[in-house]
C-alpha cells in the first residue's frame, strides 16, 4: 500500500515536468523495497529502519529553504531574478535524533564532493572538474536545467556552482540519495538528478510569493509589515509557522519550511511543523519586503570596441537609437568641458583637488570653497573671488568642445527638448544654444522669451555674470569686475549706488551699498531661478521625451539626482508592454556617458553606461548617424538665376544650399473671425440734397437709422477701445497730445512713472504661439471717504 502511494507521488512529479521521454534512463530506485518500512513520518519513527533508502536517515527533519533577493550580481551576464517568485535555496536534512534538535551533518562523502567553493565546515578540496550541470545534461534533463536557471539563482557566481554546493553539502548526508540505493543498474550521477528533482518538488509545495500576496503582502519599497502579519499569512496556508530570516532584523530575506517526511524526499508526503529555529526578524519593528532591483544596466567600454564585435554592435545600436529618437533631454556636467582645458570637480586633478592644493590653510576640503558659508569669513571670501576670477580667465581663453557642438546638432535636427547643465562656463551659449542665464532669456515685457526658446538651462548659474549680494541685481561680468576680484575684493553694486545717491540728494537716511559676487549657485544656497527651472522641468516632462542622455557628471548632487530620476521615469514609460514597433525598439533609453561608473543607486534607472570620454562617444554617434541615416544630413539645393542671366538652361545659375525641412502640417486650428465678417451689407444710399455743412452728420444719422444693429459678439471693433462707436460709455475723447488736467482727473500727483514689476526674471510662458496669456483683472482699490474739516 505504501509503495502505491510513493508510485502515485512519483507519477505526479514526472507529470509536473511534462514527463520523461522513453529514451531517458530511469533514475528512480526500486520502490517495492520501501513497503516494509514503518508507516510513520521520519522524526516520529521509534523503530529500526531496515531500508534507509526509503526514509531519510539520519536527517529526518527536512527543511525546504528559500531566498528573497533583490539582485544577483551577474545581471550583465543574463543572470536575473524570476518575477513573482522567491528563489530556491536548498533542501536540508537535519538530524532526526529524539527529539529532532535541528543539528545537521555536512559534506559526508568525499567521493561526491562537486563543490568548487566548499565552505569552512569541511577540509575537502575544491572541485575542479566539469560543472554539475553537465551531469544533468547527460540524462537529457534540459527542461530541468531551464527551470533551475530561472528559480535556483546564485548571487555573484554561476548558478551551477550553487547547485553543486547544495548537493555536496546536504545530499551526501541523507541516506535516500546513497549510491547503494540504486543497485546494479546505477548510472553515474543518477543521485544528483534525483536530488534536484526532490528539491524542485519540495519548493513547489511552498509558493511563498503567492501565499503572501493572498494576504495583501507584496514587495514594496515604501510599505512595511509586522512580523505577525507575515507569520499568520504563511501559517494559515501551510499549517505551521516557518522560520523567517531578516537582514539587520528588519529586511525580509529568507524562509525555512520545516517538515517530517513520510517516505523519501522525492516521492514521500511532507508534514509541516513549526520552526525549531528562532526567527531573526525583530517582532517590535516594521519589516521591509523590498522590491527587486532591476539591475539591467549594460556597460560598454569604449576603449574595447576595437577588439570586441559585440561592443561595436551595441554602440552602433545606441547611435541608431539617438538618430531615431525625436525628443531628447540632455543632462551634462563638468566632464564635457575637460577637453577644452576646464577641469572637472571631483577627479584627482579636478577643481576640488586644485583648491585644496592652492589654499591648504583656508579650506579643509576643496568643496568648502563652493559652499555658501564661505561668505562668513573675509579670508575665504577673498580666496573665492580670486579663484573664480582666474577660472573665468581660463574659460574665456578656451573653446567649446565636440560634446557642446553635438548638443547644438541635436537642436538643429529638431531632436533636442532641452539641455540641463551643471556647468558655469557658458559654452552652450557660444555654440548657439540660448541659455537661461543670458540677458535675452531674462528680458522684460515684449523682449521676454517663451520657455521653449531657452534651449539650455544652467542649473548652477553662469560665471559670465555677477549678482549683488544685497539687491540681487545682475550684470555681465566685465574686465573691471575681474580686476577687482583678482585682488580678492568685490565691486560695488551700481543699482545700490544709484539708490544711495538718490537718497543722499533728498537728504534721506543712507542705505547699505551691496557688493557684487560671481552669479554662480553654491552648496546650501537657494537658486535665484529655482521656481522658473522647476516650471521648465515640469513642462519638459509633459512633453514626454523618449531619450535621456547624461554626460560628464558623477550624479552626486541631490537636486540633479531628482531631476534625472524624474526624466528617466518619463522616458521609460515608452517601454510599456505592447506591440514592439521599430520606433519603440529605439525609444525609452537612458544613456550615461562617463569615465567612471554610476553608483548602485542608479540600478534600474540607467540602461547603458558608455565607459569613456564624452567627446569620443558623440563623435562616434555622429559618424554612425551619417552612415546609417544619410538622408538626415542631406542638403537641398536650389537653382537661382543670376542677376544678369536669363531663366534658361544656358543661363548662369547660383546654387543655394538650404536645409531640408519637413513639409509643414496644415493648420487645422480655427482662425478667429476678422472685423469684416458676418457684417450685413451697407444700405442703399438715399438721395438727399442738403445745402448746409452738416451733410456728413446727417448722412451718418441716416445710415445708423437704417442699418440693423450688430449683435454684441459681432460688433465692429476699431483700433482704439475708447472710440464712441466701440465703447459708448467712454464717448468723451481727448486729443492724443493733450489730456485732462490733474485736478479734473482727480489725481493728487502727476502720472506715475514706474511700471509694474515683472513677476519673474524669466518668462515662464507655457502657452503656444497662437494662444495668449490670460489677462488678470486689475482690482479696483477703494479709497477712504474724505472727512469734512468740520468733523476733525
- Catalytic site positions: 460
3-state secondary structure of 268: coil
Beta bridge partners of 224: 288
Q: Residues 587, 574: contact at Cβ < 8 Å?
A: yes
15: phi then psi, degrees, rounded to nearest 5? -65, -30
> Is the Cα dihedral 680, 682, 686, 692 positive or negative?
positive
Query: Which DSSP string corresponds to 89-139?
Result: EEEEEE--SSS--S-------GGG---SS--TT--PPPP-SS-THHHHHHT
Residue 404 host element (H or E): helix 402-412
Q: Residues 217, 255: contact at Cβ < 8 Å?
A: no
Nearest to 310 by CA among 625, 318, 597, 158: 318
The CA distance from 143 to 132, in Å, is 15
Calculate the CA 51 to chain-centre distance. 61
> Is the Cα dihedral 613, 614, 616, 617 positive or negative?
positive
> Is the Cα dihedral 382, 388, 391, 397 positive or negative?
negative
The CA distance from 548 to 550, in Å, is 7
Beta bridge partners of 592: 550, 609
CA dihedral of residues 543, 544, 547, 549 (deg, nearest 10): 60
DSSP state of 399: -
The bridge status of strand 456-458 relative to strand 416-421 is: parallel
The CA distance from 644 to 315, in Å, is 52
**Radius of gyration of the chain, Cα coordinates, nearest whole angstrom:** 40
281: phi then psi, degrees, rounded to nearest 5? -90, 140
3-state secondary structure of 218: coil
Nearest to 554 by CA among 609, 476, 506: 609
736 exposure class (CB count in 10 Å sphere: 0-12, 13-18, 19+): exposed
170 exposure class (CB count in 10 Å sphere: 0-12, 13-18, 19+): buried
End-to-end CA distance of the chain: 118
Residues in the chain: 792
Amino acid at each position: 500500500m505504501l509503495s502505491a502511494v510513493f508510485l502515485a507521488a512519483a507519477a505526479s512529479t514526472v507529470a509536473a515536468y511534462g514527463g520523461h521521454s522513453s529514451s531517458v534512463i530511469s533514475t528512480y530506485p526500486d520502490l517495492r523495497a520501501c513497503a516494509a518500512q514503518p508507516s510513520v513520518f521520519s522524526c516520529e519513527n521509534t523503530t529500526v529502519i531496515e531500508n534507509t533508502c526509503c526514509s531519510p536517515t539520519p536527517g529526518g527533519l527536512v527543511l525546504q529553504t528559500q531566498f528573497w533577493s533583490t539582485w544577483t550580481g551577474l545581471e550583465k551576464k543574463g543572470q536575473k531574478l524570476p518575477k513573482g517568485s522567491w528563489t530556491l535555496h536548498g533542501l536540508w536534512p537535519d538530524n532526526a535524533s529524539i527529539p529532532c534538535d535541528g543539528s545537521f551533518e555536512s559534506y559526508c562523502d568525499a567521493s561526491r564532493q562537486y563543490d568548487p567553493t566548499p565552505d569552512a565546515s569541511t577540509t575537502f578540496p575544491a572541485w575542479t572538474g566539469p560543472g554539475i550541470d553537465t551531469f544533468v545534461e547527460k540524462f537529457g534533463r534540459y527542461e530541468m536545467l531551464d527551470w533551475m536557471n530561472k528559480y535556483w539563482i546564485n548571487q555573484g557566481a554561476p548558478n551551477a556552482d550553487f547547485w553543486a554546493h547544495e548537493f555536496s553539502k546536504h545530499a551526501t548526508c541523507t541516506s535516500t540519495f546513497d549510491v547503494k540505493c540504486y543497485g546494479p543498474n546505477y548510472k553515474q550521477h543518477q543521485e544528483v538528478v534525483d536530488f534536484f528533482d526532490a528539491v524542485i518538488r519540495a519548493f513547489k509545495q511552498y509558493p511563498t510569493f503567492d501565499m503572501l500576496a493572498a494576504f495583501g503582502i507584496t514587495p514594496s519599497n515604501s510599505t512595511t509589515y509586522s512580523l505577525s502579519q507575515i507569520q499568520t499569512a504563511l501559517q494559515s496556508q501551510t499549517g505551521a509557522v516557518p522560520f523567517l530570516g531578516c537582514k539587520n532584523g528588519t529586511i525580509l530575506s529568507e524562509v525555512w519550511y520545516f517538515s517530517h517526511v513520510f517516505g523519501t524526499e522525492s516521492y514521500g508526503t511532507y508534514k509541516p511543523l513549526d520552526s525549531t529555529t528562532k526567527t531573526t526578524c525583530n517582532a517590535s519593528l516594521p519589516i521591509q519586503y523590498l522590491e527587486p532591483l532591476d539591475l539591467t544596466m549594460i556597460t560598454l567600454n569604449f576603449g574595447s570596441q576595437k577588439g570586441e564585435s559585440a561592443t561595436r554592435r551595441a554602440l552602433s545600436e545606441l547611435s541608431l537609437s539617438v538618430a531615431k529618437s525625436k525628443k531628447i533631454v540632455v543632462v551634462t556636467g563638468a566632464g564635457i568641458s575637460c577637453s577644452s582645458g576646464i577641469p572637472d570637480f571631483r577627479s584627482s586633478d579636478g577643481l576640488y583637488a586644485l583648491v585644496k592644493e592652492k589654499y591648504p590653510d583656508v579650506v579643509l576640503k576643496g568643496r568648502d570653497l563652493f559652499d555658501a558659508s564661505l561668505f562668513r569669513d573675509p579670508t575665504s571670501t577673498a580666496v573665492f573671488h580670486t579663484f573664480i576670477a582666474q577660472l573665468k580667465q581660463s574659460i574665456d581663453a578656451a573653446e567649446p568642445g565636440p560634446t557642446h557642438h553635438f548638443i547644438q546638432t541635436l537642436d538643429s535636427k529638431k531632436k533636442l527638448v532641452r539641455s540641463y547643465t551643471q556647468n558655469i562656463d557658458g559654452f552652450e551659449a557660444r555654440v548657439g544654444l540660448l541659455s537661461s542665464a543670458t540677458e535675452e532669456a531674462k528680458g522684460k515685457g515684449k523682449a521676454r522669451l517663451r520657455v521653449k526658446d531657452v534651449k539650455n538651462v544652467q542649473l548652477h548659474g553662469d560665471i559670465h555674470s555677477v549678482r549683488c549680494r544685497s539687491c540681487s541685481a545682475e550684470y555681465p561680468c566685465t574686465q573691471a569686475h575681474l580686476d577687482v576680484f583678482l585682488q580678492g575684493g568685490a565691486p560695488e553694486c551700481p543699482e545700490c549706488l544709484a539708490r544711495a545717491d538718490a537718497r543722499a540728494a533728498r537728504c534721506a537716511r543712507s542705505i547699505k551699498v551691496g557688493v557684487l559676487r560671481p552669479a554662480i549657485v553654491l552648496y546650501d544656497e537657494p537658486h535665484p531661478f529655482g521656481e522658473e527651472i522647476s516650471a521648465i522641468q515640469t513642462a519638459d516632462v509633459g512633453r514626454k521625451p523618449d531619450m535621456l542622455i547624461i554626460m560628464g557628471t558623477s550624479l552626486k548632487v541631490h537636486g540633479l539626482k531628482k531631476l534625472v530620476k524624474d526624466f528617466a521615469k518619463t522616458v521609460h514609460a515608452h517601454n510599456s508592454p505592447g506591440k514592439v514597433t521599430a520606433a519603440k525598439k529605439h525609444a525609452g533609453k537612458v544613456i550615461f556617458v562617463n569615465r567612471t561608473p554610476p553608483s548602485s543607486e542608479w540600478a534600474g534607472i540607467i540602461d547603458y553606461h558608455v565607459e569613456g570620454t564624452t567627446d569620443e562617444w558623440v563623435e562616434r554617434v555622429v559618424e554612425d548617424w551619417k552612415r546609417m541615416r544619410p538622408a538626415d544630413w542631406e542638403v537641398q539645393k536650389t537653382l537661382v538665376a543670376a542677376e544678369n542671366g536669363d531663366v534658361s538652361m544656358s543661363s548662369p545659375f547660383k546654387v543655394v544650399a538650404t536645409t531640408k525641412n519637413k513639409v509643414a502640417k496644415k493648420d487645422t486650428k480655427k482662425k478667429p473671425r476678422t472685423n469684416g465678417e458676418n457684417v450685413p451689407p451697407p444700405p442703399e444710399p438715399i438721395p438727399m440734397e442738403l445745402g448746409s455743412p452738416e451733410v456728413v452728420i446727417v448722412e451718418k444719422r441716416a445710415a445708423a437709422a437704417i442699418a440693423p444693429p450688430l449683435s454684441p459678439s459681432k460688433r465692429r471693433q476699431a483700433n482704439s477701445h475708447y472710440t464712441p462707436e466701440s465703447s459708448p460709455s467712454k464717448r468723451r475723447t481727448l486729443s492724443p497730445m493733450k489730456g485732462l488736467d490733474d485736478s479734473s482727473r482727480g489725481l493728487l500727483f502727476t502720472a506715475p512713472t514706474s511700471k509694474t514689476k515683472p513677476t519673474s526674471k524669466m518668462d515662464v510662458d507655457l502657452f503656444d504661439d497662437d494662444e495668449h496669456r490670460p489677462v488678470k483683472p486689475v482690482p479696483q482699490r477703494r479709497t477712504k471717504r474724505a472727512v469734512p474739516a468740520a468733523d476733525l
